[in-house]
Chain A
Amino acid sequence: MAIITHDVVIAAAPRRAGLVTTVLRFCRKKPLGAAGGALVMVMVLTAIFADQLATHDPIATDAAATLAPPGEAHWLGTDHLGRDIYSRIVHGTRVSLAVGLLSTLLGSVFGGMVGLVSAYFGGKTDLITQRVLDILQGLPLLVLALVMSAALGPSIENVVIAISIPIMPRAARVIRASVLSIREMQYIEAARALGLRHLRIAFRHVLPNTIGPFIVLTTAQLGSAILTEAALSFLGLGVPEPYPSWGRMLSVSAAEYAQKAPHLVLFPGIAISLAVFGSNLLGDALRDTLDPRLRGAQ
């Protein structure tokens, strides 16, 4: 009996720490990162339960209560059309998070693929891809997204695509760098010696090992994707009506009433800042934890 227990212990020894333990350890070592994670969690929950959390219909106008200051009826006041700011911010979380996450994922997955192919095959493929990426990176993120969203026309899908395009070259760079080092590993050589096809080596053996940099990249980009969405919507080139969007709540029409009703400008901006702050904190802490090359550098 004792011998069997002994065997079980040995088998279980290399088991990795459980999810709860990992999360707890992360919280203790990186309190700021944990706070960021909490902010992101709040944002996700708000987006999921937006219908339950909102006190009013986010698009319903109320001519009797325009520009109402924060109070009991409207927690954060109303805008120039009498729409409830609190409910709009709550519902706006959905839009911002969805656009932010989707565009980051789209950009990182496509960019990552480009980086993988570019680094794995090297040579001319690599050279040409790198020059194309140089061109795309030569333009500021917002300018590129601006031109793209204008070119594609206003709709949620197009905003996602417009924001994802400037993310692609960054993702490609990060994944490329990581693949370049993985490519030289012995287990890749072993896979090649076994006669595996390129596609299988690239996707089964190289790709899973880039997951660390990939997670770091996506969390780091999430914040700037949310900011870009806000800026595009602010300029009237982002998420179209009737979806409530944080950026559009700040747009020129709101700015006109800002003197009379500062809450119109303050609260949506705070929502944006908190969301981006949370994902930045989390991204930084994840980078320190998952990316050993940057550990300690910050």
Chain B
Amino acid sequence: MNQKTPLFELHQQTGAKIVPFGGWDMPLHYGSQVEEHHKVRRDAGMFDVSHMARVDLHGKGVRQFLRCLVANNVDKLTVSGKALYSCMLNVRGGVIDDLIIYFLRDDWFRLVVNAATRDKDLAWIEDQAKQAHEVEIEPRPDLAMIAVQGPNGRDKTCVALGDAVKGATADLKPFSAVEINDYFIARTGYTGEDGFEILLPNERAPDVWRALQRAGVAPCGLGARDTLRLEAGMNLYGADMDDDTTPLESGLTWTVAWEPKDRDFIGRQALVKQRERGVTRKLVGLLLLDKGVLRSHQQVTCAAGRQGEITSGTFSPTLGRAIAMARVPAEVQIGDSCQIEIRGKRLDAQVVKYPFVRHGKSCLPELRL
């Protein structure tokens, strides 16, 4: 029996197609995944992301604990509400999960982790916390989470939630959060568009969802969420990286804080060693030049017979072309041609820089709309 979010009944009433995802019954779409995708790129859409796990860490020892637990450095967080994206690594440098860390107070940080990895993450965090001092772990299943995304997302959220929220979020910077009334509102997201992620008490979620809908925010499912995040060049845990791949092999080197050198985070030694030896694989973007659709696990053949594999692929509704992220040998360069095997045929593709799309516009010079 899968878990259900506080918005499940509303989704059903709205005609959502429900699919199992990470142990939850979640909306895939409410009619057309592609229309929902465009709605987010052009106006405003919302996603029920209550399946993602929220975990609060309390205590005087939390900052020190996080310095060790994650590869990015929480000392970058000095202003209350500021958020940090990071990977949590095992000792081999493999990614246990990617997460967002919010700094609330010196004795209070909030983590948002993936639904499918929740139990694994919590077990790992609890295990590590045994050696830490003054760290208390509090999962927050009492909170729901709604992501409102799109160029009009913030304005429409303010219409729906009223003047207090409007005032509190007026100067909110990207990757920052603020607490106002029952809401914890962060200017974060997973689509490449501006917007908010709103944490709120479960029992308030249906009313807020309805208010957002009245304000013109379209319900969107996990289907659109996936095409939007892939266009935005954002990794998906379990597809683009996992326990056996490191951030350096996953386009996430930017999330690893090497300085200060004496911050001995879990996985650091493995990453340093890998960096010294040279990374042999990396994540690149692919644009299919022929007609077709790129999918995960399709084989990629690059110059000199170098072999790679697609980790995430889809049809990009914004570009009208198939795009993908692929793990390929490190020698492969942006601009290289490659071939993808699809149903026994070899189709031409090009290695490109990602993100593919940001703020509604193509980032690919060859596809400027």
Partners in one complex: no
On A, residues with C-beta under 8 Å from B are none
